Amino acid sequence: MPSWLEVLDRRARLRAKAGLSRRLRPRDATEDLLDLAGNDYLGLSRHPEVTAAAAEALTGYGLGATGSRLVRGSTEPHHALEATLAQWLGAGRALVFSSGYLANLGAVRALVQPRTLLVSDAHNHASLIDGCRLSGAETVVTPHLDVAAVEAALAGAPGRPAVVVTESVFSVDGDLAPLAELHAVARRHGALLLVDDAHALGVLGPDGAGAVAAAGLGGASDVVVTATLSKALGGAGGVVAGPAELARHLIDTGRTFIYDTALPPAVAAGVLAATRLARTGAGLRAELAERAAAVTRRLGAAGLEVSTPTAGVVSVTAPGPETAVAWAADCRDRGVAVGCFRPPSTPDSRSRLRLTINVGLDRRDFDRALDVIVECAP
């Protein structure tokens, strides 16, 4: 019988043969690549007001939170950030976690009762999928964006508590869920709607409050919103926003909240500054939308298969995983960083380059990056 290390080695060789190996690459602080791979949509991660707020909190509180939120880690920046997020999203209360992944795991688990049915979109993020699996609840996976399939799943479980689980802007192709229709279906069947608004917060909706707010659902008692604080807000962490009773339940019972060291106070302070900038960033959002449209025009005119963006995510289909890796590497060699998404990171087994719009880039550099992507295309 092979040893466990031999088993791991064999699996690694199989992944390499299929073009699915991954590699960590250190990034220097002075790297000059044009960034169309990260999620800093509004260019706030290096904004002087954001870094100054983080630096002040770093001096005051030190490097880390030193404990969980309940033991030692719940600082004034955490509470100020939660109050601001709740007001922005129109929620009764917001609760900050150390990552968006943990926020999703905690939110899904918190909404599960005995006999709960979870109805999950087939293209949902891994954190939502894992939340459904770890909750132990029965989960029905419905075809992507298929409202009729969601209704059928709910109709097939009359009298049972249910939660419809979806992203708003999906993280691979950047398409938008029909949130108003999903909410109407969920409400007809007495179900809750859980929306991961990670890629829409700061980008869509009134004052950048996200896709849930854009759909007119902000503050609805049967809607729960989660998001990361690492995309348009340029920081780290996650949030669950909804009725105050949900936050109370998570504080009392949420394992990914209770047993996890808190988000560093300096990060919370920086994200708080970023929320203020994002809420008044209508010009940044307009520029982001124009650049997303420019990507579709430029790459589509070159004969590439490009998604139609609803926010800041654009995907470009690659012939296969090895081709995608080579394409991304060629772009990098010419000074442009792009995302390279291959199975199992893609929900449909197709490989892609994923481009994320960054309005922090000079427009001439942004246009040059698009030229490089076209010139390096297989």
**pLDDT of 33-46, one tens digit each?**
999 999 999 999 99
Which pLDDT score, from 0 to 100, does residue 22 have?
85
Which pLDDT score, from 0 to 100, does residue 23 have?
86
CB atoms within 10 A of CB 216: 13
Give 330-352 pLDDT, tens digit per residue: 999 999 999 998 888 787 788 99
Which pLDDT score, from 0 to 100, does residue 343 have?
84
% residues pLDDT > 90 (the chain): 91
In 3D space, the residue among 125, 121, 127, 155 whose CA is nearest the CA of residue 141 turns out to be 121
Q: How far is 228 from 271, CA to CA, in rounded Å? A: 11
Which pLDDT score, from 0 to 100, does residue 32 have?
87
Give 138-153 pLDDT, tens digit per residue: 999 999 999 999 999 9
What the block records as the tokens of 99 is 């990552």
Q: How far is 107 from 32, CA to CA, in rounded Å? A: 38
The alpha carbon of residue 31 and the mean position of all alpha carbons in its chain are separated, in whole angstroms, by 24
Alpha-carbon torsion, ordered 181, 185, 190, 194, to 10 deg: -50
Evaluate if pTM is beyond 0.75: yes
In 3D space, the residue among 300, 360, 268, 317 whose CA is nearest the CA of residue 75 turns out to be 268
Res. 123: pLDDT tops 90: yes
Give 69-106 pLDDT, tens digit per residue: 999 999 999 999 999 999 999 999 999 999 999 999 99
Mean pLDDT on 217-232: 97
Which pLDDT score, from 0 to 100, does residue 19 have?
82
Cα 93 to Cα 88, 214, 256, distances in angstroms: 11, 19, 18
Mean pLDDT on 197-208: 98
Strands (E), the chain: 34-36, 93-97, 117-121, 138-142, 162-167, 192-196, 223-228, 238-242, 313-317, 336-341, 352-356
Band of pLDDT at residue 369, cut at 50, 70 and 90:
very high
CATH architecture of 48-279: 3-Layer(aba) Sandwich (3.40)
In 3D space, the residue among 316, 326, 307, 311 whose CA is nearest the CA of residue 358 turns out to be 311
**Helix, strand, coil percentages in the chain from 3-state DSSP, rounded to 5:** 45, 15, 40
Res. 241: pLDDT tops 90: yes
Which pLDDT score, from 0 to 100, does residue 245 have?
98
Res. 176: pLDDT tops 80: yes
Q: Which residues lie closer than 8 Å to 356 by C-beta, 6 or more apart?
A: 36, 37, 38, 39, 41, 312, 313, 314, 339
Res. 178: pLDDT tops 90: yes
Which pLDDT score, from 0 to 100, does residue 25 have?
85
Which pLDDT score, from 0 to 100, does residue 156 have?
97
Instruction: Name the one residue in this structure whose structure tokens are 């295309």.
Output: 377
Which pLDDT score, from 0 to 100, does residue 348 have?
78
Which pLDDT score, from 0 to 100, does residue 65 have?
97
- Beta strand pairing status for 162-167 and 336-341? unpaired
What the block records as the tokens of 285 is 């959002």
Q: How far is 125 from 100, CA to CA, in rounded Å? A: 11
% residues pLDDT > 70 (the chain): 100
φ, ψ (nearest 5 deg) of residue 278: -65, -40
Q: How far is 287 from 232, CA to CA, in rounded Å? A: 13
Mean pLDDT on 314-336: 95
Res. 63: pLDDT tops 80: yes
Q: How far is 196 from 212, CA to CA, in rounded Å? A: 9
Which pLDDT score, from 0 to 100, does residue 210 have?
98
Domain range 31-46+282-375, CATH class: alpha beta
Which pLDDT score, from 0 to 100, does residue 146 have?
98
Mean pLDDT on 282-290: 97
Q: How far is 272 from 268, CA to CA, in rounded Å? A: 6
Q: What is the DSSP string of 177-200?
A: --HHHHHHHHHHTT-EEEEE-TTT
**Inter-residue contact 315 to 298 (CB < 8 Å):** no
Res. 239: pLDDT tops 90: yes
- CA 219, 89, 171, 250 dihedral sign is negative
Write down the domain spans for the chain.
31-46+282-375, 48-279
Q: How far is 157 from 145, CA to CA, in rounded Å? A: 20
Q: How far is 105 from 135, CA to CA, in rounded Å? A: 8
With vertex at residue 108, the alpha carbon angle to CA 105 and CA 111, rounded to the nearest 5 degrees, is 145
Q: How far is 340 from 319, CA to CA, in rounded Å? A: 12
Mean pLDDT of the chain, nearest integer: 96
DSSP reduced 3-state for 102:
helix
Residue 327 CA neighbour count, 13 Å, CB half: 26
Res. 66: pLDDT tops 90: yes
